[in-house]
Structure 1
Amino acid sequence: MTSPGALDQATAVAERASVLAGAEWDAVDGPDVVAGVEAIVAARSFLDAALLRGIDRLEATDALRELGWASVKDFLTHLTGGHKGTGGGLVRAVEQLRDLPEVQAALESGRVTLPQARVIASKVHTLPRVPQFRTAVAGRMLDLVEARGHDASDLQTVFGDVVRELDPDAALVNEEKERAKAERAAHHARHLSFAEDGHGGVRVKGYGSVEDVERIKATLHPLAAPATTEPGSCGGVNRQPGQPMFDDDGVSTAAACLTPGCGHDGRDPREAGARLWDALVDACDRLAASDELPRDHGTKPRVVVLIDQESLEQQVIDAGLARNGHTPNGARFSAAAVRRMACDAEIIPTVLGAHGQVLDVGRAQRLVTTGIWTALVVRDRHCAFPGCARMPLACDAHHIRHWADGGATSLDNLVMLCRHHHVLVHQTPWAVHIDEDTGQPVWTPPPRNTRDGYSKAGITYAPARPRAA
């Protein structure tokens, strides 16, 4: 089916459904009402099957990202108007049914409804990863739907009986449980330690699960590949027989190579263990240079020196910046003045009074202060983007009106966003403002354009707030 054909059919179905919804049902006889409801339920099942196929295709394209949506699940949750997580459930159903073509076919043929198919798929995916066993359990549950008319609740109830019927000795289930138990034990025993040997070196010792190590290896092995070069590129080419000791300018024709045992043939002289070590260091350097490490509300950690005001004043005097704790005209220094005189670009003194109270922490700045960040965490609790609940550690403080455009670093101009949604807001039509009455962020999603140019721009809503603990 072509793209225009699919869209034409979907549009036609929606139009017919609209007519049906507005029909004069009060004039329909009882038997016809029964048949009509049955037909509507059957049609709904077919539409659910078509929806899953559409979602599957939607995930394979970038159409939503181009419209400003962070993910397919966010779009579906907004589109269906369901509870948070509705879109994620539909996407998960697509992924699970992809491995169960028999259940997918039953849904598309109308033999099962979407709730029944989702129960079968979700339950089967809790079983050991043995394809034949999973297929057999799914087939048996489909038989129960056709033979006994089991609904979604019935299927949840009988799932255990079906598993025991097909695996009476629990050999497959127990094998998977024992393997999972061993993996959990290995994960709980994980450790990594560094011990200096007193001779300029450090011994590294660690232990972890197979899964953990495979993830580490998947990162290190590409970085540990042998680095080959052109022969002689290290500068240590051996002098050939008959080659003069020096060139015409008196420079030696043989350069010493600092790599022991290097044959100057272009091959990587490092053995496998050395390459893995270098790969680990390289991976850490790359991570440190990225934006992935946790940061303190959007800025790299800085050194904050806690010092009482009198000591700081004395250091300023000792440095020749002032005399006797006073300005040249006799005025006594304020905490702010002393801090400004002593402040370094990376070391920021936080001046404390005699009882430890903060007297000054610097001028108004683009980066949020600790107090503002704390208030932001109390208000937003997590990433404030609709449907996202990433914790504050993974979030930044986003200026609603950009700092470069004159926006203030204040609570009413800030919203907490995880790195993914922070980037998204800067690159897409999503908009947010703080409601003057509630003090909560309110979001405006991108326009939803359809074939006839209809747009739902202007719809606003605030993300659901979790209950206070």
Structure 2
Amino acid sequence: MTTPGALDPATAVLAHARELAGSDWDVLDGPDTVAAVESITAARSLLDAALLRGITHLEATDALRELGWASPKDFLTHLTGGHKGTGGGLIRATEQLRDLPAVQAALDSGQVTLPQARAIASKVHTLPRVPEFREQVAAAMLDLVATEGLDASDLQTAFGDVVRTLDPDAAIVNAEKERVKAERGAHHARHLRFTEDGHGGVKLTGYGTLEDAEKIKTTLHPLAAPATAEPGACGGTNRQPGEPMFDDHGFSTQTPCLTPGCGHDGRDPRDAGARLWDALVDACDRLANSDDLPRDHGTKPRVIVLIDQESLRQQIIDAGLAHEGHTPTGARLSATTIRRMACDAEIIPTVLGTESQVLDVGRAQRLVTAALWLALIARDRHCAFPGCTRMPLACDAHHVTHWADGGPTALSNLVMVCRHHHTVLHHTPWAVRIDLDTGQPVWTPPPRATLTSLHGKITYHPARPRAA
């Protein structure tokens, strides 16, 4: 059905619903009232089915983001005026019913109501991921609705009996439980260790679940593919058949390159293990250069050097005479390694006092100090966006009035938000301010859109500010 084809019936239904809401019920006798209520209930079930279809299509578009909504869940909760989680429940219902086409078809045809369909879907999704078994259980519960008229509560109660009837020996259920138990044991035993060998190397050992291993391999294998090149691109050349090893002047006819094991034929000289290690380092470099890692409130310190920056740049490092440095993880590095890392890092020069206390730490950009960050945690506790509870480790300090616009880096101009809602603040109509009396963040959502005519015209009404 095209968008106009769906919109026209929707506006027509709205018109009839308004007419029905204003009808004079006193003119109906008892039997007619029963019939009217039954018709309204049946229509409501069909409208619920249509709503879920609409939600599925809504998630596939960017219309809500253009209106400033962070997610369909928030929009649906706001639109329905329901309890917190109402929107999430509707989206969860669409996802669960997508895997149970028989239940979805029963909802679309009016054979079951939305509460019945959600009761069946939510229970079936607690079963092992065996599609045939899930479909059998769902079919049996649909049959209970058709033959016995069970409501949502009765369906939840009958679920256990249905499962025992279809799996009397609990072979399917127990097999999944044992698998889950084994996976849980592997998860609890997970570890990763780096052991330095004292000779400039490190040994990596670890253990984890098969699921985690698949994620790691899926990420690393594309990066571990052999890197081929044109023959001789390494700078070396092979001696041709019949060509003497030395020329008339006594020089070798084979030009060496600096890659051990290189055949100068364009093939990758690394074995599979070396390529996999390089892929791991490459993946870490890519992640470090992205915006996905938790930051120290805006900075990206790579190297902390207990030496003045000018010396690092000049001849002392080049001569190998500088003191050893250390990384934020505690690993000690030579001056040569520090210089190589510094080519792609923000150097954080640290000035120490006579008793090694930190007197001053340089910074590459504006920072929220440690003391100010602790005060922000004490005030906001977690992401301050309404309904979000992401922990401080996953949050940023957002300037209410942008720093570039003269906003101070002060508690009265800061709010703690997670990375997602930080993006929402910068790219949507959501707004936040700090209440001068309470010192707490106050949020203003985008205007609420309301259908105000029979022709689908949308009117936006001002939204009320609300505290986090």
TM-score using structure 2 length: 0.82
Q: Which residue of 2 aligns with 1:435?
A: 435
Partner of 2:83: 83
Aligned to 1:422: 422
Deviations 1:331-355, CA, capped at 9 Å, x for gaps: xxxxxxxxxxxxx9834669999xx
Give 1:397 shift.
1.1
Give the match for residue 319 of structure 1.
none
Q: SS at 1:346's partner residue?
A: strand
Aligned to 2:74: 74
Partner of 2:466 in structure 1?
A: 462
- 45-54 or 402-411: bigger deviation: 402-411
2:218 maps to a residue whose letter is: A
Aligned to 2:3: 3
Is 1:168 aligned to residue 157 of structure 2? Answer: no
Helix, strand or coil for the counterpart of 1:455? strand
**How far 1:417 moved relative to its partner?**
1.0
Match of 1:12 in 2: 12
Structure 1 residue identity aligned to 2:48: D
Which residue identity is paired with 1:346? I
Q: Decide whether aligned partners of structure 1 residues 82 and 298 sit closer, same or farther in structure 2, where only a CA change above 3 A counts.
A: farther
Q: What per-residue deviation string (whole Å, max 9, x for no partner) do you get for residues 247-290 of structure 1?
A: 9xx99874212223322221211111111111011111112222
C-alpha deviation, 1:158, in angstroms = 1.2
2:345 corresponds to 1:346: no
| Per-residue Cα deviation, 1:171-217 (whole angstroms, up to 9, x for no partner) | 00000000000000011111111222333322211111101111111
Match of 1:51 in 2: 51
Per-residue deviation, residues 52-103 of structure 1 (Å, max 9, x unmatched) = 1111111222222232222221221221122222111111111110110000
Q: Is 2:380 the partner of 1:380?
A: yes
Check if 1:152 corresponds to 2:152.
yes
Deviation at 1:32, TM superposition (A): 2.8
- Contact 2:298/2:366 (CA < 8 Å) preserved in 1? no
Q: CA deviation at 1:435?
A: 3.2
- CA drift of 1:21 comes to 1.9
SS in 2 for 1:133: helix
| 8 Å contact kept, 2:383–2:392 | yes
Q: For residues 453 and 147 of structure 1, what CA distance do their matches in structure 2 show? A: 44
Residue 401 of structure 2 contacts residue 413 of structure 2 at CA under 8 Å; is this kept in 1? yes
Helix, strand or coil at the partner of 1:296: coil
User: How far 1:423 sits from its partner (Å)?
Assistant: 1.4
Percentage of identical aligned residues:
73
Match of 1:177 in 2: 177
Work out whether residues 446 and 457 of structure 1, in 8 Å CA contact, stay in contact via their aligned partners in 2. Answer: no
Structure 1 counterpart of 2:348, one-letter code: E
Taking a change above 3 Å as real, the CA distance of residues 39 and 435 of structure 1, as seen in their structure-2 partners, is farther
C-alpha displacement of 1:27: 4.6
Equivalent residue letter for 2:256? A
Aligned to 1:227: 227
3-state secondary structure, aligned to 1:159: helix
Determine if contact 1:234/1:257 at 8 Å carries over to the other structure.
Answer: yes
Q: Cα gap change, 1:405/1:25 in structure 2, threshold over 3 Å: closer, same or farther?
A: farther
CA distance in 2, matches of 1:28, 1:376: 63
Structure 2: any 5+ residue segments left out of the alignment? 307-345
> Residues 384 and 416 of structure 1 are in contact (CA less than 8 Å); yes or no, is this contact kept in structure 2?
yes
- Figure out how many residues of one structure are paired with residues of the other and give that number: 421
User: How do residues 56-455 of structure 1 correspond to structure 2 at under 5 angstroms?
Assistant: 56-240=56-240, 241=242, 254-300=254-300, 346-347=348-349, 366-448=366-448, 453-455=457-459
1:16-73, CA deviations, whole angstroms, 9 ceiling, x for partnerless residues?
2122223333554333332222221111111110011111111222222232222221
The SS at the match of 2:45 is helix
CA distance in 2, matches of 1:163, 1:407: 61
Secondary structure at 2:466's aligned position in 1? coil
**Aligned mates of 1:78, 1:367 — CA distance in 2:** 36
Cα distance between partner residues in 2 of 1:40 and 1:76: 23
Q: Is the 8 A contact 2:7 2:456 kept in 1?
A: no
For 2:275, give the aligned amino acid: R
Change (3 A) 1:253 1:102: same
* 1:442–1:453 Cα change, 3 Å: farther
Question: 1:455: how far off?
Answer: 3.0
Aligned partners of 1:184 and 1:269: how far apart in 2?
40
Give the whole-Å Cα distance in 2 for the aligned partners of 1:351 and 1:236. 52
**Aligned with 2:415: secondary structure?**
strand
RMSD: 3.2
Shift of 1:369: 2.9
Give the distance between the partners of 2:53 and 2:419, measured in 1 at CA: 31
Deviates most, 433-442 or 144-153 = 433-442
2 CA distance for matches of 1:414 and 1:151? 50
- Aligned partners of 1:372, 1:351: CA distance in 2, in Å? 23
Question: What is the DSSP-based 3-state SS (H/G/I as helix, E as strand, rest coil) of the residue aligned with 2:169?
Answer: coil
Q: CA deviation at 1:463?
A: 5.3
CA contact 1:97–1:103 (8 Å) conserved in 2:
yes
Displacement of 1:461 in angstroms is 3.9
SS in 1 for 2:193: strand
